[in-house]
Amino acid sequence: MQLPRMSTLVATYQQVQSRIHRACEQTGRPRSEVKLLAVSKTKPATMVKEIYDQGQRSFGENYLQDALDKIEALTELTDIEWHFIGPIQSNKTRPIAENFQWVETLEREKIAQRLNEQRPAELPPLNVLIQVNISGEAQKSGLKSEEVADFADLIATLPNLTLRGLMCIPEATEDEQKLAQQFDNMHKLLQSLQNKHPQCDTLSMGMSADLELAVKHHTTQVRIGTDIFGARA
């Protein structure tokens, strides 16, 4: 009997899982130390469901309305974990606070206060990551390294938020040495943060082009979109 052909989406998903597994093996890290966040922005709920059926549970979304449509369409998947990984406008904080389990792009006190106030009482605290502009690029979002400690202390005073760590989008460069340095700086920053905030266990860095390097330099979560779902629609 002929077996059904594997879909292209399942094949690309499995290829990414294999890349993470190999990267962990090559650096002597347990595979369990590196989480895969499947970045499903602009892709339909049917594609999310197909990857969910392969065992994936964490999905990243950049665009709020697109994300809310998917969350509603997949409401029966009660163990799915939605991460907001886009820029946050003040007028969009309530639906983010109400519908997501994670926010990875926190960098402003006003946004932190609003997410805390608008998180529904019946839900557990919202997991948040501080976005760091580790490359120091003027056009890029995120805090400077030296601003992280004070912002972390502020988040710690907000009962409906739980600070879990740091996130960055490194420089778009093919200079592997420069990227490695930025990843190492993020790791040192997380270690420093853990001295006062020991619950911080997440370092979100590494995407389709550089996931192996990120695994080598201590990431705990890689955010992969294109190499799973294909180019944006």
Residue 82 has pLDDT above 50, yes or no: yes
pLDDT tens digits for range 168-178: 998 888 889 99
Q: Which CATH number fits the domain 8-229, given the four candidates 3.30.465.10, 3.20.20.10, 3.40.50.2300, 1.10.287.130?
A: 3.20.20.10
Q: What's the token pair of residue 33?
A: 């130390």
What is the model's pTM? 0.95
pLDDT at 2: 45
Residue 6 has pLDDT above 80, yes or no: no
More confident residue, 6 or 19: 19
Q: Is 214 exposed, middle or buried (0-12, 13-18, 19+ CB in 10 A)?
A: buried
pLDDT at 232: 67
Mean pLDDT confidence for 89-96: 96
Give the residue extent of every domain in the chain.
8-229
pLDDT tens digits for range 98-155: 999 999 999 999 999 999 999 999 999 999 999 999 998 888 999 999 999 999 999 9
Report the range of poorest mean pLDDT among 4-18, 79-93, 136-150, 167-181. 4-18
Residue 3 has pLDDT above 50, yes or no: no
Residue 5 has pLDDT above 60, yes or no: no
Please, what is the average pLDDT of the chain?
A: 95
Closest by alpha carbon to 162, among 126, 188, 187, 124?
126
Residue 131's region, left for phi above 0, alpha for psi from -120 to 50, else beta, is beta
Residue 171's region, left for phi above 0, alpha for psi from -120 to 50, else beta, is beta
